[in-house]
Structure 1
Amino acid sequence: MELPHLGEHCSDSSCKRLDFLPMTCDACQKTFCGDHVTYSSHNCTESYKKDNQVPVCPLCSAPIPVKPGETPDILVGRHIDTDCQSDPAKEKRQVYTNKCSAKGCKNKELIPVICEKCRKNFCLRHRHELDHSCKGFEGSGKSVSNSGAAALSRFNFFSSSNTNTKSKTNAKPQQSSLSNIGRDLNRERQSRQQRGVPMTTQAGMSEDEALARALQMSMVESSGTKPQATSNQSGSLSQQEQEDLMLARALQESEQEARNQTQRTENKEKSCMLS
């Protein structure tokens, strides 16, 4: 029993079979049966539109994206000249190091092509003054000889080196917790000198120990309490005095380290100036 009103006939000229489940080719948009729906089975003339293959770089094996209408050979060659990370491509790019100075141009030449007026390098396409809209040396509209350009380059080099040296000299020293403690101790010593408190050292005490003892006395006076007498005044120090002594020693080590660092910086600058 035939049902001609159901399904569709295959569009292949050698088939024409009535198929109740016809399928449409996504390339030529024709209806085919299950045996002729593939591109090769019905010799589809529009199959090239669906045959999208991504070219691969022959050197680094990286896929190169290609947009519709672009030539894969041109894109692969551009990738080798600019982005390829293989050793042969890198060696080729190292040879062509003379980049064109024209705006928007990325060409590189094997030999430098210098404009005699503006002293810039250009490719063969932009080597003439009209081609790169020459404005003269550094935009002055005038040409400069080779000796003049060399003198200006040396002057700019020495100016930049002097600027870097001054910036290093005027750099602020490194701030640390020990330096902050040192500033506090120095401020306390100056305030005591202004008040007329004598800073004489006791027998058997160094200057740093005396400074720590003076700081302790100042803290006691500011709190309004009297220091308690110890049973062994001529012998060992109290815990607070020991802490002050350790603080004074740390301050002394910090100052010595800062002086050594300053001396090393000055010696390094002198050696750089001599070289």
Structure 2
Amino acid sequence: MEFPDLGQHCSENSCKILDFLPLKCDACRNIYCKDHFQYRQHGCSAGVGKDVQVPVCPLCNRPVPSRRGDLPDVAVGDHIDRECQSDPAQAKRKAYVNRCSVKGCKQKEVIPVKCVHCNLNHCLKHRYPDDHRCTGHSSAGAVSRLQQRKPANPPPAVRTQTAASNVLALQGSLVSGQTPLVIINTEGLVVATGSEDEALARALQLSMYEAEDNGSSDRPPHRDRNQRRSERSCLVS
């Protein structure tokens, strides 16, 4: 050969080819050919820690940092969803802005899906109250049950008007010389005044109406106020 000192042989035992453009490994400092100069191709133990590859975003052409051992596709996908400044990525983020409120869920929807009880946005998977453990659902149910159990008290204006009418009736009985008989209900209101027969009749009539109101609170009334007043006046007379 005219140039016996030109080139070097590959250090790989299965190769030993004479390469005129040899490459030196920066980890083990051995000479290799173009087919065995990479770390994994010649089994370099010193170069395993240096074999770090950084994925590049296909939209903005910027390197995406990721942890060792993580898949590059996962890192690039998170970068496109959060940090990528390219036009397609920004348009996608503007469309999918309704993120699920469940902890740990990263799903986003095009349209908002809000719960009527807690007023929070959720994805289609967690849209039902039982799926996202809705706290507003239980509190709303407790409030509704409490309102149903609470007895309906008459307004203060009605109580005042009833008390005033009873006082006037009592004064009229005193003026006419009748022996007044006063009956007071459990709420402290005067329900019957006048003579004994008149007071007893009015008390019985009022107890009947109270029993009807308590037993049929959920049903529509069959008689209006005018009919009840006429019946009471007929019974008292």
TM-score, length-scaled by structure 2: 0.41
Q: Specify which structure has the higher proportion of helix.
A: 1
How does the TM-score come out when normalised to structure 1? Answer: 0.36
